[in-house]
């Protein structure tokens, strides 16, 4: 049994959050550069600004986007690890709080009814999976809400099948239009239940944009959905163009014989995601 003080997790969350707020992932930067080269007019103007912004943010350690997001923290906890110290969720929140304060990130979390701001961007949205081994993998995804607001869940029937899945994905992007800051990254959950399906979609967003799903039939859905989405012509910021999405990322899980849930979690072009294994 490996003993780990949750203080170590708190410090890791802090590091990841600080880095994530001011940096796009490498695969996102490359995808944006490629998109810029295919566009013209206002869409090109927008992508030029986005790429220039990324450089400024990295150099000056300023948030890439003022929406430094809801702190989504995904932890894969090896079952041979025994945690000591503070409650895990408190340790995570402590890391978030310190990162958002010291990083001069915007605090964007509020009570849903009174809209009173919690003042420190906590609580984080923490999800823990117990895995084999004695390691702890932490993924930090600051999730902006311009795109989160455009996310959807469709409870399809088995009869709707593959075509239904493709339609649900493309329709979500079409309805979102210019609002989620395209070119978007589309996280898709296929299967599971009403709630686990949406978590699959969120986890899909933590994959590299250069990756493909290891299952050929799922990778084919990713590619076909992307091609159809880019046929919509929405383009960067909705200004019209060839690149409406940078990538479609799907994750799947077994579902019930009566159902086919499909969740679409929209991510803007500012993909910020940092990972570390302890």
Partner 1 sequence: MRTLTLPLSERDVLSLHAGDTALLSGTIYTARDCAHKRIFELLDADMVPPFPLKGAFIYYAGPCPAPAGKACGSCGPTTSARMNPYAPRLLSLGLGGIIGKGEMSEEVRRALVKNKAVYFAAIGGAGAIYGNAIRKSELVAFPELLSEAVYRLEVENFPLVVAMDCYGNSVYKK
Q: Which residues bind partner 1 (CB under 8 A)?
A: 41-42, 45-46, 49-50, 52-53, 56-57, 60, 62-68, 104-108, 115, 117, 119, 146, 149, 177-181, 233-234, 237-240, 268-270
Nearer to partner 1, 121 or 255 (CB): 121
Q: How far is the CB of 134 from partner 1 (least distance, A)?
A: 38
Of 90, 89, 69, whose CA–CA distance to 20 is shortest?
69
Nearer to partner 1, 33 or 56 (CB): 56
Provide the H-helix boundaries in the chain. Answer: 6-22, 26-38, 41-60, 88-102, 145-148, 161-176, 196-204, 216-230
Cα separation, 21 vs 144, in Å, equals: 11
What is the 3 state secondary structure string of 237-264?
A: HHCCCCCCEEEEEEEEECCCCCCEEEEE
Q: How far is the CB of 146 from partner 1 (least distance, A)?
A: 5
Nearer to partner 1, 168 or 268 (CB): 268
Q: In what order do the strands lie in the sheet with 274-277?
A: 125-131, 70-78, 136-143, 274-277
Q: How far is the CB of 140 from partner 1 (least distance, A)?
A: 17
Cα separation, 6 vs 8, in Å, equals: 5
Q: How far is the CB of 98 from partner 1 (least distance, A)?
A: 14
Q: Is the Cβ–Cβ distance between 260 and 183 less than 8 Å?
A: no
Q: How far is the CB of 249 from partner 1 (least distance, A)?
A: 19
Bridge partners, 141 (sequence order): 72
Cα separation, 253 vs 249, in Å, equals: 14
Of 98, 121, 87, 145, whose CA–CA distance to 265 is shortest?
145
Nearer to partner 1, 22 or 74 (CB): 22
Nearer to partner 1, 45 or 218 (CB): 45
Cα separation, 94 vs 96, in Å, equals: 5
Nearer to partner 1, 183 or 191 (CB): 183
Nearer to partner 1, 67 or 251 (CB): 67
Give the β-pairing of 70-78 and 136-143.
antiparallel
Q: How far is the CB of 208 from partner 1 (least distance, A)?
A: 19
Cα separation, 100 vs 185, in Å, equals: 24
């Amino acid at each position: 049994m490996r003993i780990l003080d949750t203080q170590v997790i708190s410090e890791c969350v802090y590091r990841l959050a600080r880095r994530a707020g001011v940096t796009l992932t490498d695969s996102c930067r490359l995808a944006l550069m490629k998109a810029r080269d295919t566009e013209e007019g206002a869409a090109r103007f927008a992508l030029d600004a986005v790429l220039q912004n990324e450089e400024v943010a990295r150099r000056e350690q300023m948030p890439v986007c003022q929406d430094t997001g809801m702190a989504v923290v995904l932890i894969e906890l090896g079952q041979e690890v025994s945690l000591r110290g503070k409650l895990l969720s408190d340790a995570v929140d402590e890391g978030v709080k310190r990162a958002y304060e010291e990083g001069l990130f915007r605090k964007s979390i509020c009570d849903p009814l009174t809209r009173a701001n919690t003042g420190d961007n906590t609580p984080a949205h923490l999800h823990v999976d117990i895995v084999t081994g004695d390691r702890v993998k932490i993924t930090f995804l600051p999730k902006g809400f311009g795109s989160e607001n455009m996310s959807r869940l469709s409870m399809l029937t088995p009869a709707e099948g593959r075509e239904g899945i493709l339609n649900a994905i493309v329709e979500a992007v079409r309805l979102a239009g210019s609002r989620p800051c395209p070119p978007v990254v589309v996280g898709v959950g296929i299967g599971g239940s009403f709630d686990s399906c949406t978590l699959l979609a969120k986890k899909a967003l933590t994959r590299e944009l250069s990756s493909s799903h290891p299952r050929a039939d799922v990778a084919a859905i990713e590619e076909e959905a992307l091609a159809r989405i880019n046929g919509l012509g929405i383009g960067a910021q909705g200004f019209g163009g060839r690149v409406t999405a940078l990538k479609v990322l799907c994750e799947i899980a077994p579902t019930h014989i009566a159902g086919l849930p499909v969740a679409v979690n929209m991510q803007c072009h500012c993909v910020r995601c940092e990972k570390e294994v302890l």
